[in-house]
């Protein structure tokens, strides 16, 4: 049995989806009730980071600080692999942007092992 999704629930781009869910985000971003009634579910961490970046860009101020992860290695064989391009589970992104009085949510992804 197939489930038919109404056409008005389809969005052509992420920005349209964000606007439909968080249309007053710049004004209500600190309202806990407003935020608790909205969510965007995604299937990948890259999508989560992209959506979070777009929402954070709406609230940028002059007090933003950017923290970069350390990315260095030994010069053993001359091959250089940019580790900051990897997005391992459980670690923050290479570039972490923080602002004074901006909310931060820390998540821990638990890996469950199924025993059959």
pLDDT in tens, 51-94: 988 888 887 677 788 888 876 666 666 666 677 777 776 677 77
Write down the pLDDT at residue 73: 63
Provide the pLDDT confidence category of residue 25 given band limits of 50, 70 and 90: confident
Is the pLDDT at 37 greater than 90, yes or no? Answer: yes
Separation of alpha carbons 4 and 102, rounded Å = 39
Write down the pLDDT at residue 15: 92
- Per-residue pLDDT, averaged over 1-6, amounts to 87
- 73/13: higher pLDDT: 13
Residues in Cβ contact with 64 at an 8 Å cutoff, skipping those fewer than 6 apart: 97, 98, 99
Percent of the chain, pLDDT > 90? Answer: 11
Percent of the chain, pLDDT > 70? Answer: 72
Structure tokens at 7: 């056409």
Separation of alpha carbons 32 and 62, rounded Å = 24
Residue whose structure tokens are 């900051």: 84
Write down the pLDDT at residue 33: 92
46: enclosing H helix or E strand: helix 45-57
Write down the pLDDT at residue 48: 86
Structural domain boundaries of the chain?
7-71+83-99
């Amino acid at each position: 049995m197939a489930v038919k999704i109404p056409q008005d629930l389809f969005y052509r781009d992420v920005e349209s989806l964000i606007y439909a869910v968080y249309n007053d985000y710049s004004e209500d971003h600190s309202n806990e009730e407003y935020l608790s009634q909205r969510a965007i579910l995604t299937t990948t961490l890259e999508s989560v980071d992209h959506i979070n970046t777009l929402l954070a860009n709406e609230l940028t101020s002059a007090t933003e600080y950017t923290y970069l992860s350390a990315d260095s290695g030994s010069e053993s064989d001359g091959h250089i692999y940019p580790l900051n391009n990897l997005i391992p589970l459980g670690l923050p992104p290479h570039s972490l942007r923080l602002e004074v009085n901006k909310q931060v949510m820390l998540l821990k992804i638990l890996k469950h092992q199924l025993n059959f």
